[in-house]
Amino acid sequence: MQTETLKKVNTSVEQEIEISGSEAVMKALVAEGVETIFGYPGGAIMPIYDALYDYRDQLEHVLVRHEQGGIHAAQGYARSSGKVGTVFATSGPGATNLVTGLADALIDSTPLVCITGQVFAHLLGTDAFQETDVINITTPVTKWNYQVTDANEIPAILAKAYYIAGSGRPGPVLIDITKNAQIQKFNYKGYEKCTHIRSYRPKPIVRNEYIQAAAAMINKAERPLVIFGQGVILGKAEKEFKNFIEQGGLPAAWTILGLSALETDHPLNVGMLGMHGNYGPNVLTNECDVLIAVGMRFDDRVTGRLDRYAKQAKVIHLDIDPAEIDKNIKADVPVWGDCKETLPLITALLDKKEYTSWRARFSECMDKEIEAVIENELNPTAEIMTMGEVIHQMNQITGGDAIIVTDVGQHQMVACRYAKFTESKSNITSGGLGTMGFALPAAMGAKYGAPDRTVVAIIGDGGIQMTIQELGTIMQNNIDIKILILNNHFLGMVRQWQQLFHERRYSFVDIDSPDYVTVAKGYRIEGNSVAKRENLVSALTTMLHHKGPYLLEVHVGKENNVFPMVPQGCGVSEVRLK
């Protein structure tokens, strides 16, 4: 009897092992299914990197050239894979270099866990070397953050971090771990994933009365319009969304983050909303009688002036985040919940309709836009190339199967307008924050998240110079991405505004560029530069079929503008075609 009791006690003790806080971090990452970490070591996070040395066979680490590159890479990984991205950075400047990416990830609902090192707990508040109050700095730009000063907290806190980052409306989480907690030994009792936090409800309770009210309102509509955003992609509800619009015969327009949730050639896809969106969706927003918003937040670049936005329409708003309901546009029917759950409930109650004459209005508007804008953009007669024709020719080669990662500026709007997509999670861009320098590192991460897909980074001559050092990361890891620089020798979007609204007073928008092909060669990356139309198709074909990273610079018109355009301070129906 006594012997049997002793055996039980010994077994219990054997289940507990003494490990360091740093090793507990590694065990947490493995348990959470982390595949790739993007990071940069330093003094305050050195114990974690020391522990990582023994986990190299289980955890892949990508050494970036700047912490901002690391967090943008993690964003690209999360967006292409649908998983939580992971970042390491040291204290002080390492942590503060993450702030732009955190702000970008928060506004675009990108799930990240950032783990930063911190000085010893007894040095907090003493202005120690590379000490920064990263918790207070990052509170406004994280979904949640926490500082660990005791190693015993690490398993539970990291479990909570990954749960919060990836659940509900996703977002970035930052965990700051003091150096003493990284070194400290403690009795490790195993890792348990978090599935519930008291007072945190990631998915609102679906209310059946709103489901019924939404369906009834749609069934009575004569001119319905669906506008959809990234919530469809984040909710993994692409199939449910397609069933919804097909059952109701509902024309659907997308925000730039919603792009690729529905294939671009789908007959009910009527185009892009917003400042540089398609003519039809913008004008007809102010003519529809029922506006159904799915997983989008009525951003100002979509709505223009709120007092002139869809005043004639009844509004149905589906969103997982109750804070978005009524924030900018008052909803007549608020449908709280995960759209993967709410869309099928509404679809089951919809009448089968076609709306032939209403959908014909979108076709008429598109014909007008083709004549005024698109034909000249895709098939120009001028000698110099346009950004649109470059994207158009690339579509012909990729067939819409590539992941397109764009930076911010004119090229971004042109790519979003003209790129073709057949598969979800294919359009990766900085939407809400508009972060120049995003595309190159985000494309690196996108390739790790979707290694079997072609990844093309489309970047302007301004944005590429903000994070060009990540060519070193691409070189060291032989990351097979294609870098397409559309060079108009200007900060193009700012120049367009200065031309149209500031009497061509071009104030500091001329930007010189290095010889990008020579720069790429210095990083042992193949490249080419073209300025003549007759060389474009062969250059794009070479780039896309090349094994390994490749950089292609295409010289395009210096003063070409992106139209249509809704000028700032105007309503969406005031969209200009020229």
State whether residue 313 is helix, strand or coil.
Answer: coil
Active-site annotation holds for 179: yes
Question: Which residue do the tokens 């003091």 mark?
Answer: 178
Burial of 534 (0-12, 13-18, 19+ CB in 10 A): exposed
Active-site annotation holds for 67: yes
What are the respective helix, strand and coil percentages of the chain, to the nearest 5? 45, 20, 40
Phi, psi (rounded to 5 degrees) for 367? -60, -40
Q: pLDDT value at position 15?
A: 65
Phi, psi (rounded to 5 degrees) for 123? -95, -5
Containing 18, the helix (H) or strand (E) segment is strand 17-20
Residue ranges, comma separated, of all CATH 3.40.50.1220 domains in the chain are 208-361
| Token digits of residue 327 | 């924030």
Instruction: Provide the CATH topology of domain 17-188.
Output: Rossmann fold (3.40.50)
Contacts of 509 (CB under 8 A, 6+ apart): 490, 491, 494, 495, 498
Burial of 88 (0-12, 13-18, 19+ CB in 10 A): buried
* H helices present in 263-330, as ranges: 279-285, 300-303
Question: Which residue do the tokens 């994207």 mark?
Answer: 391
- 542/565 Cα distance (integer angstroms): 34
Active-site hit among 27, 83, 160, 179? 179
Q: pLDDT value at position 578?
A: 87
Of residues 422, 435, 552, the one with CA closest to residue 103: 435
pTM of this structure:
0.95
- 14/354 Cα distance (integer angstroms): 67
Burial of 128 (0-12, 13-18, 19+ CB in 10 A): middle
Question: 158, 149 in Cβ contact below 8 A?
Answer: no
- 125/541 Cα distance (integer angstroms): 57
Active-site hit among 385, 493, 543, 565? 493
Active-site hit among 7, 15, 129, 532? 129
* Residue 327, CA distances (Å) to 10, 166, 234, 255 in order: 58, 23, 20, 17
| Token digits of residue 204 | 């609102």
What does 90-155 look like in DSSP terms, one character per residue?
A: -STHHHHTTHHHHHHHHHTT--EEEEEEE--GGGTTTT-TT---HHHHHGGG-SEEEEE-SGGGHH
* H helices present in 350-457, as ranges: 356-369, 375-378, 387-398, 410-418, 439-449
Rg of the chain's alpha carbons, rounded to an integer?
Answer: 25
Residue ranges, comma separated, of all CATH 3.40.50.970 domains in the chain are 17-188, 379-565
Burial of 195 (0-12, 13-18, 19+ CB in 10 A): exposed
Q: pLDDT value at position 245?
A: 98
Handedness of CA 254, 256, 261, 262 (dihedral sign): positive
pLDDT in tens, the chain (578 residues): 344 333 333 333 336 899 999 999 999 999 999 999 999 999 999 999 999 999 999 999 999 999 999 999 999 999 999 999 999 999 999 999 999 999 999 999 999 999 999 999 999 999 999 999 999 999 999 999 999 999 999 999 999 999 999 999 999 999 999 999 999 999 999 999 999 999 999 999 999 999 999 999 999 999 999 999 999 999 999 999 999 999 999 999 999 999 999 999 999 999 999 999 999 999 999 999 999 999 999 999 999 999 999 999 999 999 999 999 999 999 999 999 999 999 999 999 999 999 999 999 999 999 999 999 999 999 999 999 999 999 999 999 999 999 999 999 999 999 999 999 999 999 999 999 999 999 999 999 999 999 999 999 999 999 999 999 999 999 999 999 999 999 999 998 999 999 999 999 999 999 999 999 999 999 999 999 999 999 999 999 999 999 999 999 999 999 999 999 999 899 999 999 98
Active-site annotation holds for 239: no
- The 3-state secondary structure of 314-355 reads EEEEEECCHHHCCCCCCCCEEEECCHHHHHHHHHCCCCCCCC
The answer to whether domain 208-361 has CATH 3.30.420.340 is no
Burial of 185 (0-12, 13-18, 19+ CB in 10 A): exposed
- 551/481 Cα distance (integer angstroms): 9
- 318/207 Cα distance (integer angstroms): 12
* Residue 460, CA distances (Å) to 100, 320, 391, 406, 441 in order: 19, 34, 13, 9, 14
Active-site hit among 23, 32, 67, 238? 67
- 93/498 Cα distance (integer angstroms): 35
Contacts of 239 (CB under 8 A, 6+ apart): none
Q: pLDDT value at position 450?
A: 98
CATH code matching the domain that covers 379-565, chosen among 1.10.1530.10, 3.40.50.970, 3.60.15.10, 1.10.510.10: 3.40.50.970
| Token digits of residue 474 | 């691409």
- 282/296 Cα distance (integer angstroms): 16
Of residues 217, 152, 214, 204, the one with CA closest to residue 178: 152
Active-site hit among 46, 130, 236, 327? 130
